[in-house]
């Protein structure tokens, strides 16, 4: 018997279910990343990093924000981000996962209810586990299901605050939430609406301010905007009324006890926000690519195109065959997506062109009816 047997057996079970995860190198045409605007390798961001180094910006923060890790670059980014997105205040986290975990483990009270979309990000579920509020799932993109969940909770005699949690653009299906209806529901119920804009930031809205741009600045709206996708950098920004941001600074353990993000990363995100304003052609080019892809691949209305296959092993086999032909397409299996909906997640970015999209579509037709 070995002390590692239990872990080996668990890994064997994962393998038998065709759900083993492995790290594989980048190779082939990029149909897998979230670098939607092609900013991760942009010369403008390289120049911004070089300029930050020249003016003495540190590589590492050296501590948490509440100790000595609070850098002028962090504060400048938060001020600029709040102004850009139209919120009263912003707070910079090291990752979107950390930010979502902090929001849902900290802001709702134990007497409160969180109604979340059934397809919400895993990072939200992590925050729900750490928090004290009651959490229930509502049918995907169905405002009436959210309203029904709230009504049942109220009818049971509960009088806490309600929090509605959704993504504006869903990361595995590419579909868009009915934000206006959800905002109206939040207003009627005097509830908070938390909108994860991870995959919409930079791609949609005026200057790339996202699908929730018209809702920012309301006292009952919190938005999360990750910086490692269309913005090409890293970290995440929570945009919210000042009291909620101050509450996170005082109570969010994931913020208080974590080393602050790199000041250089903050400098890069500041540059990315500037590029959203000055280079609208990036969004326009991506919009044309999305429209073009809709002629040969399943259209979703966004840059995320799921090709549902269903069976886990077959999904990974097709993904492997496409990779061998020079297309970096990844298979997505449960529990990341619901059982029976394993898929190829095709991501459109400015790292590929229309010809590459056409070639991928032709290749997929070789394996699917």
Mean pLDDT throughout 263-281? 98
Question: Of 171, 272, 302, 347, which one is the catalytic site residue?
Answer: 171
For residues 349 and 38, what is the distance between their CA atoms, to the nearest angstrom?
Answer: 6
Sheet strand arrangement including 304-310: 304-310, 342-347, 330-332
Question: Of 78, 126, 189, 196, which one is the catalytic site residue?
Answer: 196
* Domain 280-365 indexed as CATH 3.90.1150.10: yes
Which percentage of the chain shows pLDDT scores above 70?
100
Please report the pLDDT score of residue 27 as a whole number. 87
Name residue 328's beta-bridge partners.
30
Q: Please tell me the pTM assigned to this model.
A: 0.94
Mean pLDDT throughout 40-66? 97
Please report the pLDDT score of residue 288 as a whole number. 98
Is 168 a known active-site residue?
no
> Where do the structural domains in the chain lie, given as residue ranges?
43-277, 280-365
Question: Of 30, 34, 116, 234, which one is the catalytic site residue?
Answer: 34
Please report the pLDDT score of residue 25 as a whole number. 86
Question: Of 100, 141, 197, 199, which one is the catalytic site residue?
Answer: 199
What integer best gives the mean pLDDT of the chain?
A: 96
Query: What are 28's two structure tokens?
Result: 């082939």
3-class secondary structure, 234: coil
Question: Of 229, 258, 328, 347, which one is the catalytic site residue?
Answer: 229
Is 34 a known active-site residue?
yes
3-state class percentages of the chain: helix first, strand second, coil last, to nearest 5: 40, 15, 40
Is 171 a known active-site residue?
yes
Please report the pLDDT score of residue 18 as a whole number. 85
Is 187 a known active-site residue?
no
Count Cβ atoms within 10 A of the Cβ of residue 86 and give its class: 0-12 exposed, 13-18 middle, 19 or more buried.
middle
Please report the pLDDT score of residue 205 as a whole number. 97
Let me know if the fold of 43-277 is the same as that of 280-365: no
Question: Of 121, 220, 312, 351, which one is the catalytic site residue?
Answer: 121
Question: Of 35, 167, 216, 328, which one is the catalytic site residue?
Answer: 167
* Fold entry, domain 43-277: 3.40.640
Residue 369 has pLDDT above 80, yes or no: no
Is 229 a known active-site residue?
yes
Please report the pLDDT score of residue 36 as a whole number. 98
């Amino acid at each position: 018997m070995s002390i590692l047997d239990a872990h080996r057996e668990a890994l064997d079970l994962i393998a038998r279910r065709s759900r083993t995860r492995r790290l594989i190198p980048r190779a082939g045409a990029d149909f897998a990343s979230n670098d939607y605007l092609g900013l991760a390798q942009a010369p403008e961001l390289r120049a911004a990093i070089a300029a930050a180094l020249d003016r003495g910006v540190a590589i590492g923060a050296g501590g948490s924000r509440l100790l000595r890790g609070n850098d002028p670059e962090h504060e400048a980014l938060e001020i600029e981000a709040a102004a850009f997105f139209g919120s009263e205040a912003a707070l910079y986290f090291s990752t979107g996962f950390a930010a979502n975990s902090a929001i849902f483990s900290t802001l709702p009270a134990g007497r409160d209810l969180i109604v979340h979309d059934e397809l919400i990000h895993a990072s939200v579920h992590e925050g729900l586990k750490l928090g004290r509020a009651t959490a229930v799932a509502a049918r995907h993109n169905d405002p009436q299901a959210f309203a029904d969940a709230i009504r049942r909770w109220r009818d049971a005699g509960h009088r806490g605050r309600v929090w509605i949690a959704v993504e504006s653009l869903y990361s595995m299906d590419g579909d868009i939430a009915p934000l206006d209806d959800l905002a109206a529901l939040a207003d009627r119920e005097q509830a908070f609406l938390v909108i994860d804009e991870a995959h919409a930031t930079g791609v949609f809205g005026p200057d790339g301010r996202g699908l929730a741009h018209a809702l920012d600045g309301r006292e009952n709206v919190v938005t999360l905007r990750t910086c490692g996708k269309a913005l090409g950098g890293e970290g995440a920004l929570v945009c919210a009324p000042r009291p909620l941001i101050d509450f996170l600074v005082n109570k969010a353990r994931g913020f208080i006890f974590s080393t602050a993000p790199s000041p250089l990363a903050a400098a890069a995100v500041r540059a990315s926000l500037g590029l959203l304003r000055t280079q609208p052609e990036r969004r326009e080019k991506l919009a044309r690519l999305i429209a073009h892809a809709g002629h040969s691949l399943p259209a979703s209305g966004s840059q995320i195109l799921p090709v549902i296959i269903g069976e886990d092993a077959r999904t990974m086999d097709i993904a492997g065959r496409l990779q061998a032909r020079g297309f970096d397409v990844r298979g997505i299996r449960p529990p990341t997506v619901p059982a029976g909906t394993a898929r190829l997640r095709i991501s459109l970015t400015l790292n590929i062109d229309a010809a590459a999209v056409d070639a991928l579509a032709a290749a997929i037709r070789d394996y699917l009816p």
